[in-house]
Amino acid sequence: MGCHDKELSILFTDDEHMAALNQQYRGREGPTDVLSFSMMEDPDGEASPPVFESVMLGDVVVSVDTALREAKDLEEPLEGTVNRLMIHGILHLLGYDHERSQMDAALMVKEEERLLAALEKP
């Protein structure tokens, strides 16, 4: 993934806290399943140039409440749902953005599927 020797912070929280973060940082009401806060972006939200040598990729926040509902709705184990959400958040930290275009969304889904399959290999 091109991010050797990098760190990230992962917070597992509830819907109430996630809704507050979603409102504060995205201006959206209600909880969401995962949020990412990159340390690889400048203050305007643009990706920093490759010379940016931060050891910290950023933060991934997962709502356990939402993950539980998604696992039930998708009839998948909670572990699989949490893995999917964490991968999704990490990909955002690496610059993937499914909201930019359909092509970007397809690229992100393909990478999510590749990484999930890698996790499932013995």
Counting the structural domains of the chain, the total is 1
Identify the residue with better confidence: 71 or 100.
71
Q: Is residue 3 part of a domain?
A: no
Question: Where in the sequence is the domain holding 54, given as residue range(s)?
Answer: 8-120
Q: Is residue 102 part of a domain?
A: yes
Using one digit for the tens of pLDDT, what is the confidence trace for 82-104? 999 999 999 999 889 898 889 98
DSSP result, 4-72? TT-EEEEEEE-HHHHHHHHHHHH---S--SEEEEESSB-TTSPBPPTT---SEEEEEEEEHHHHHHHHH
The CATH number of residue 52's host domain is 3.40.390.30
Q: Is residue 2 part of a domain?
A: no
Q: Is residue 85 part of a domain?
A: yes
Q: Is residue 96 part of a domain?
A: yes
At 44, the pLDDT band (50, 70, 90 cuts) reads low
Tell me the whole-structure pTM to 2 decimals. Answer: 0.83
Q: Is the pLDDT of residue 72 over 80?
A: yes
| Token pair belonging to 7 | 């760190």
For residues 43-48, average pLDDT: 51
Question: Sheet containing 34-38: which strands, arranged edge to edge?
Answer: 7-13, 56-63, 34-38
Q: Is residue 1 part of a domain?
A: no
φ and ψ at residue 33, rounded to 5 degrees: -75, -40
Give the span between the Cα atoms of 91 and 112, in whole angstroms: 8
Mean residue pLDDT across the chain: 87
